[in-house]
A = this chain, B = another copy of it.
Amino acid sequence: MNIPNATNPRIVIIGGGFAGIALAKELKDKNVQVVLLDKHNYHTFQPLLYQVATGGLEAGSIAYPLRKIIQEYKDFYFRLTSVAEIDTKKQKIITEIGDLHYDYLVIATGSKTNYFGNKEIERNSMAMKTIPQSLNIRSLILENFEQAVLIKDSSEKSSLINFVLVGGGPTGVELAGALAEMKKAILQKDYPDLDIKKMQINLIQSGDRILNTMSEESSKEAEDFLKNLGVKIWKNVRVTNYDGRTITTNSDLTFDTATVIWTAGVKGALVSGLDAASLVENVKRIRVNQYNQVKGYDTIFAVGDVAMMELDNYPEGHPMMAQPALQQGKLLGENIIKLIHKQNMVPFEYHDKGSMATIGRNKAVVDLPHYHFSGVFAWFVWMFVHLVSLIGFKNKAVVFLNWIYNYIRFDREGRLIIRPYKKKSFVTFTSDEV
């Protein structure tokens, strides 16, 4: 892979997400060679993907060039590639751009959408884990509306403006809220020749409350917020299939829709080559000890979503979110250096800073470890936390400016179909209609 020979120990990091970046920053100036690999040349701020999908922000505002992050770090290298396999015996990874030996390997590959084995749902529904996927959702929403104005058949038309979000976690909730605001503030004006009242936003949750990783108050309040925005919430409903036209569920309930956005589950983005004993097969995560060391290996680590550290207080590992990833990445940076210097590593302890979700303008819910609040102040806190967490001054400033503008004007000007999702022309008329 054309990396200069290392005189220092070589640490290979697969993935430039929250965990990978936190780790890389920690390894700066530590007399190690670091090779960071990612299949994108940018870091993605995933918590704001839903705003890209709904036209509130441009993709570039939540992405940051990975090369820029490590630009001034000595003996750091970035390579744009996906990793095919790890050869643990020979201590090397096999990628599409060549092989690479590692002294220490860190798997920070994150997570991807879990369809729980249903190929038909996977084929027909939209996921929202990456920027290209979010841009596809944006295009699809707008293309649906462009198509709906053309069509006379009413069932076809209503299926085009019926949006079904499967999964009542933060992503589903935030997206549902954003769609409801688009409906009210934008689509109504943009499509005067459509009866926008008929646009439906359905949120399906298999459990008995949405935001089920948060407090009961948060669930309740988020539900009220969404209902006030016109979102229909279906609880205790499990989607069994979606053939591209109709959603079937475990009850009599069905939904005719052209758009299903699937946020009902995630699984680890595994890299092959690890021993089966180190994997938790059903969620595709990697078992690690308290030092994020992969079970059975001394020099291979996993951090973030893909890592599963089974502890008494976290029997299923830490939540697959930014905070554990950031904290694990940072500590692992210190621990690898300790390991190199034959010092004792420090076990990871997760500091739960709480969680939050935004439903719409002036509407958010926040759970701190011992305190819950919601409404306008929660919404400001949500915005503040997300702004300061974004990488880069310019991104912060542009996002802030967009938010102010969108707030004052009730607008989202990113409703641009720059990369069409539907490849073919919408409909072909045979009649000589004028």
Binding site for B on A (CB under 8 A): 1-4, 40-42, 58-61, 63-65, 67-68, 71-72, 77, 79-81, 92, 96-101, 131-132, 135, 142, 146, 149-152, 189-191, 193, 392-395, 397-398, 401-402, 405, 409, 411, 413-419, 425-429, 431-434
Q: Whose C-beta in chain B lies nearest to the C-beta of A41?
A: B417
Q: A401-B401, A418-B63, A418-B135 are in contact. Are A1 and B434 (CB under 8 A)?
A: yes
- The smallest beta-carbon distance between A294 and chain B, in angstroms, is 21
Residues of B within 8 A of A65 (CB): 190, 413, 415-416
Residues of B within 8 A of A71 (CB): 189-190
Give the residue among A59, A63, A80 with the most B Cβ atoms within 10 A. Answer: A80
- Given A92-B434, A395-B413, 6 other A-B contacts at CB below 8 A? A1-B433, A1-B434, A2-B152, A42-B417, A65-B413, A394-B413
- A60→B97 contact, CB < 8 A: no
Q: A41-B416, A193-B4 are in contact. Are A397 and B393 (CB under 8 A)?
A: no
- The smallest beta-carbon distance between A393 and chain B, in angstroms, is 7
Distance A256 CA – B415 CA, assembled complex (angstroms): 41
Residues of B within 8 A of A92 (CB): 434
Q: Whose C-beta in chain B lies nearest to the C-beta of A413?
A: B394
Residues of B within 8 A of A61 (CB): 58
- B99→A64 contact, CB < 8 A: no
Distance A98 CA – B65 CA, assembled complex (angstroms): 44
- B131→A418 contact, CB < 8 A: yes
- The smallest beta-carbon distance between A226 and chain B, in angstroms, is 26
Distance A144 CA – B1 CA, assembled complex (angstroms): 16
Residues of B within 8 A of A193 (CB): 4, 77
Q: Whose C-beta in chain B lies nearest to the C-beta of A190?
A: B67
- A433→B40 contact, CB < 8 A: no
- List 8 A–B pairs whose Cβ atoms lie within 8 Å, in order of A's numbering: A59-B416, A60-B414, A60-B416, A67-B190, A68-B415, A79-B150, A97-B426, A394-B411
Distance A72 CA – B189 CA, assembled complex (angstroms): 8
- The smallest beta-carbon distance between A417 and chain B, in angstroms, is 5
